[in-house]
Structure 1
Amino acid sequence: MRPMAGALRYRVEQLETGPLVRVEGRLERGVAGELSELLQRLVSQPAPRVALALSAVDEVDSAAVAVLVQASRLAAKAGGGLRLTAASEHARRALAMFKPREPPAGGARPAGGLESLGGAVSDAAGAFRDFLQTAADASAAVLWGVVRPKTVRWSALTEQAVFIGSQALPIIGLISFLVGLTLAFQSAHQLSQFGAAIFVANLTGVAMIREMGPLMTAILVAGRSGSSIAAEISTMKVSEEIDALQVMGMDPIRFLAVPRLLAITITLPLLTVFADLLGILGGFVVGIFYLDIAPVAFLNQMLEALGPQDLLTGLVKSVAFAWGIGLIGLFYGFRVQGGAAEVGRTTTSSVVASIFYIIVADCFFSVVFYILI
């Protein structure tokens, strides 16, 4: 018997079927390295057939079992095998306790189309259920903040309102002006053929106030502020700051969600009105300088086409868009798992989901208001 480190000895016998390794003593972590080198040397031969006798082994720990499993896999990969001819009670008990899970013969069965569809539907249903839970918790917290204003973090709300609202005025104003300008130019050519260029005022006013103003503002806010909400919350989740809030007895929904939801609910309708005015200004510029319409005539024509219900339509849409953007950003932020890489994926997913929601909600409101108004 050749000694190893610790209380272990081994002997290698060459049989007709291949080498037989007889081991005596204690198979523990201290001898795992030498045992691994011995077995790897034996199983590195072409198509190795190695037998292992552990009948004289007193103790086996998890490190030794890992060495045996690794050697067995190497032997199988080389076209051979590592088999156990005899084992003591201690060895059998340890090997049974740490028996590795073998993959099924022939590999894993690929999922079929129907099975994949079912899994996708199940995942989507679970995510939607979690979203409804987050929306319910956030809505209840906001309602509580409205009833008890002292519970609202007004400094955080003001900070969020400045970021979502006033800092977004330049980009929203520029985009809205260009959209109004484009609408007027596109419609002017067609309407001028029928001598109805004055109706550019009608089209620009109605389109901006009822449709393009709320829609473009919501999309810009989703890309700018909705992504910020998701990124901030997910970063706090990854860095365990939310866990720290819970340990200190603070409700993360009330502490983080309420200021952001209230801020976006207040600022998005105001931004929508600002976008409406800049879009109308773009159409006004086209009407005055391109179509030679008198300023007073343009304004009178537009005011005749508009009514309070048009402004109400845009404001209702903007409030619905605001809540959707805020809740989606919060939902994706709170559900993030993993490291820093997941923060970017979560932010991207929240923006895509927000824009999808905006388009679907806009279509829904357009149908409803067409029927009601």
Structure 2
Amino acid sequence: MATAGREAAARLTTDRDGSQLRLLFAGSWTTANLADREAELDGTLNRRALAGVERAVLSLDQVTHFDTAGAWATLRTARRLRDAGVEVAIEGAGADRQRLLEAVEQTEPAPSPPRGLRFPLSFLANLGKLTLTLGADARALTGFLGLTTLVFLRALLRPSRIRFTSLIHHMQKTGVDSLPIVGLLAFLIGVVLAYQGADQLARFGAQIYTVNLLGISVLREMGILITAIIVAGRSGSAFTAQIGTMKVNQEIDAMRTIGLDPVEVLVLPRALALVLVMPLLTFYANIMAILGGGLMVWVLLGIDPAAFVRQLHQSLNVEALLVGMIKAPVFAFVIGLVGCFEGLRTGGNAESVGTQTTRAVVEAIFLVIVLDAFFSVFFSVIGV
């Protein structure tokens, strides 16, 4: 039994003749037997052992069993010898083993993982990648804006192309169905603004001006901002999920096949519905926020509703209302555009739907806040 085990083991014999080194492979060079030969091969191929060697012969005449692992070890030995500047020849392989050697040689070794960049190079590299990604997304969104504008103008010239059934449906979903959540949050925002304003103004004995603070902040900024953020999270995400699911199910490809324009059928009714209902939602949010603030100042400061209305009438004008209302259709168009754009960019799997939905909400809220800042500067410059 011991003799059979020794005969089956892989053996390596070296013979040095001047500048020629002969490596004699014997026994079973298979996966099960190569572990014991690794250290021996490494010792044979070190720089000291190869000093003065110009030619090496790898002999496979006495190999009894030979598999892919044996072929890999043979080629690895030959490659290391060539890297050391030694001429290499393989003898006694035979036809079958030669084909195995060629097949293994054609397989490229796995590349070593790239070395990570250190700070600050890693920071600059990531910043560059992010900049390129944002630039590509901005360019794609701008192109989609142009396409949607053309489709909208074409629909104005031919109103029969507008799908009014779909338009009314989305107006109900984005407008009527949003009333409870918009009203509740606007009411609570009014309560918070009134409470915080009264707490700060009480230090100066000017609690009555809490009404002024509430009315101006709600009509000019908070009413439209809260409404836009709610609509972006509710309706914008729904647009992306709906269109993304259609993209995954190849329904959009089917629409193109039968000659329908997805932008005209899917994007236009949704964006137009948001543009129509957003001013109404904003006005409703303004009323609810003022009601919440009025209730708080009545409870906190003892200002009765009649005095509240008189003070509100003195502090506000039509311009304060129009500032918020002008922003509404612009924000609505941006939310609808981003939601549909990300939905059409959905990939072919369900995971992509969730990813694009998240992107749509984040991008829509970001653009809304950026546009709100732009409007604030603009109205300040023109003195409104």
**TM > 0.5:** yes
Opposite residue 219 of structure 1, the aligned amino acid is: I
Aligned in 2, Cα 1:103/1:14: closer, same or farther, shift over 3 Å?
A: closer
Is 1:165 aligned with 2:165? no
Aligned residue in 1 for 2:202: 192
- Report 1:224-263 matches (<5 A): 224-263=234-273
Aligned in 2, Cα 1:108/1:167: closer, same or farther, shift over 3 Å?
A: same
Q: Which has the larger radius of gyration?
A: 2
**Structure-1 separation of matches of 2:254 and 2:33:** 53
Opposite residue 108 of structure 1, the aligned amino acid is: P
Is 1:145 aligned with 2:155? yes
Aligned residue in 1 for 2:130: 120
Opposite residue 149 of structure 1, the aligned amino acid is: P
Aligned residue in 1 for 2:6: none
- TM superposition shift of 1:217: 0.5
SS in 2 for 1:243: helix
Aligned residue in 1 for 2:219: 209
The question of whether the paired residues in 2 share the 8 Å contact of 1:213 and 1:276 is answered with: yes
Aligned residue in 2 for 1:60: none
Aligned in 2, Cα 1:269/1:87: closer, same or farther, shift over 3 Å?
A: farther
Is 1:325 aligned with 2:331? no
- TM superposition shift of 1:236: 1.2
- TM superposition shift of 1:178: 0.8
Gaps of 5+ in 2: 1-9, 14-23, 42-57, 61-66, 80-89
Aligned residue in 1 for 2:366: 356
**Structure-2 separation of matches of 1:221 and 1:79:** 65
Aligned residue in 2 for 1:129: 139
Opposite residue 277 of structure 1, the aligned amino acid is: I
- TM superposition shift of 1:45: 7.3
The question of whether the paired residues in 1 share the 8 Å contact of 2:247 and 2:348 is answered with: no
Opposite residue 291 of structure 1, the aligned amino acid is: L
Aligned residue in 2 for 1:18: 25
The question of whether the paired residues in 1 share the 8 Å contact of 2:34 and 2:70 is answered with: no
Aligned in 2, Cα 1:359/1:75: closer, same or farther, shift over 3 Å?
A: same
Aligned in 2, Cα 1:82/1:232: closer, same or farther, shift over 3 Å?
A: farther
Opposite residue 368 of structure 2, the aligned amino acid is: I
**Structure-1 separation of matches of 2:306 and 2:71:** 88
SS in 1 for 2:347: coil
- Report 1:69-148 matches (<5 A): 71=68, 75=72, 99-104=106-111, 106-110=112-116, 112-113=121-122, 114-148=124-158
- TM superposition shift of 1:347: 0.9
Aligned in 2, Cα 1:280/1:39: closer, same or farther, shift over 3 Å?
A: same
SS in 2 for 1:108: coil
Q: Deviations over 1:126-160 (max 9, x none)?
A: 12111111111112212222332210111111111
Aligned residue in 2 for 1:290: 300
TM-score, L = length of structure 1: 0.76
The question of whether the paired residues in 2 share the 8 Å contact of 1:236 and 1:242 is answered with: yes
Q: Deviations over 1:160-182 (max 9, x none)?
A: 11111000100110111111111
Opposite residue 110 of structure 1, the aligned amino acid is: G
**Structure-2 separation of matches of 1:220 and 1:214:** 10
TM-score, L = length of structure 2: 0.74
Aligned in 2, Cα 1:204/1:40: closer, same or farther, shift over 3 Å?
A: same
Gaps of 5+ in 1: 1-12, 22-37, 54-67
Aligned residue in 1 for 2:45: none
**Structure-1 separation of matches of 2:361 and 2:373:** 19
Identical counterparts, % of pairs: 36
Is 1:220 aligned with 2:230? yes
**Structure-1 separation of matches of 2:263 and 2:36:** 62
**Structure-2 separation of matches of 1:52 and 1:368:** 85
SS in 2 for 1:229: helix
Aligned residue in 2 for 1:304: 314
The question of whether the paired residues in 2 share the 8 Å contact of 1:235 and 1:340 is answered with: yes
Aligned Cα root-mean-square deviation (Å): 3.4
Opposite residue 379 of structure 2, the aligned amino acid is: F
Aligned in 2, Cα 1:303/1:103: closer, same or farther, shift over 3 Å?
A: same
Aligned in 2, Cα 1:278/1:42: closer, same or farther, shift over 3 Å?
A: same
Opposite residue 315 of structure 1, the aligned amino acid is: M
SS in 2 for 1:290: helix
Aligned residue in 2 for 1:3: none
**Structure-2 separation of matches of 1:354 and 1:203:** 28
The question of whether the paired residues in 2 share the 8 Å contact of 1:214 and 1:317 is answered with: yes
SS in 2 for 1:18: strand
Aligned in 2, Cα 1:125/1:193: closer, same or farther, shift over 3 Å?
A: closer
- TM superposition shift of 1:41: 6.4
**Structure-2 separation of matches of 1:126 and 1:73:** 50
Is 1:281 aligned with 2:291? yes
